[in-house]
Amino acid sequence: MGSLFSNTISLRTSVGITDAEFVQLRDFIYEKCGIYVDIKRKYLFESRFSKRLAELGLPGFADYIKYLKFDSRKNEELARLFELVTTNETSFCRDGKQLEAFQDKVLKEALDRQRKAGRLELNIWSAGCSSGEEPYTLSILLHETLRAELPRWRIAITAVDLSRAMIERAKEGVYGDYAFKTTPDDIRQRYFTKDPGGWRIKPEVARLVAFHEMNLNDPLALKRVPRSHIVFCRNVVIYFDDAMKRKVVSAFYDNLLPGGYLMLGHSETLHKVSSSFKPVYHPGTIAYLKEG
């Protein structure tokens, strides 16, 4: 999951939204997915939703709110709503310093622990995976780390996102040059093949990853995720208020196996959110340890 909304405003004519309508729509979004939008960003509702209102033939936001709540197609519209309130800004090998610390420290520790226990298996949860660049990057790092040892391991990367469109794009596994803006050329050459639509992830990388549409505000869905050794949730919780942050981080804690790690984005912290994890400091990142 990337940034909330776009930083640019469309030049098309926007439909106005009153403060009362904004609060109704904002509260509806919060109830459904936990994303909180400050009223200072009201203009973004107008710019983002105006085209959708026109597509549905609705004259204003009051009609759209009724549509979301009462229309027979409301469930289908909910998927469109989620796509409108998130903008997915991501790339392969993003935040290289963090990934380097992850590979050299966190991942090495997890693999060594599993070897000593005689269990050659590893579960990773990528929460807010957007169009797949993060979980595929993790699969690549596992290939780079384990190399010839990889076939002996049972590895599962569970990748989830709120957006149905992003999950479908991730499953397709074809990316344009922009997705590689932070990727070493040798990595692209080794793990992708040239495709008419761009670059396609190789099957041996893709087979470690399973994609699912999931709402992090759905407690039953969260409980269906296999217990994890590592959870990645980068650039997601910054869009939640404190209550939702605590709810999601608690779910991550419950999901993690003892000795597991939570990895957040470089601008995110558990300060004032949770004291359950032990912060472990590495050059370029903080990893949050579930002791036990």
208: nearest Cα among 132, 283, 269? 132
* pLDDT tens sequence across 97-141: 999 999 999 999 999 999 999 999 999 999 999 999 999 999 999
Query: What is the value of pTM for the model shown?
Result: 0.89
Question: Is residue 21's pLDDT more than 70?
Answer: yes
Domains of the chain by range and CATH?
Answer: 19-85 (1.10.155), 96-290 (3.40.50.150)
pLDDT tens-digit readout, 38-85: 888 898 899 889 999 999 999 999 999 999 999 999 999 998 998 888
How much is the pLDDT for 159?
98
Give every CB contact of residue 63 below 8 A, 6+ residues apart in sequence.
Answer: 53
pLDDT band at 87 (very low <50, low <70, confident <90, very high): low
- Can you say whether the dihedral through the CA atoms of 38, 233, 94, 85 is positive or negative? negative
Please state at what angle helix 42-56 crosses helix 61-70, rounded to 10 degrees: 70
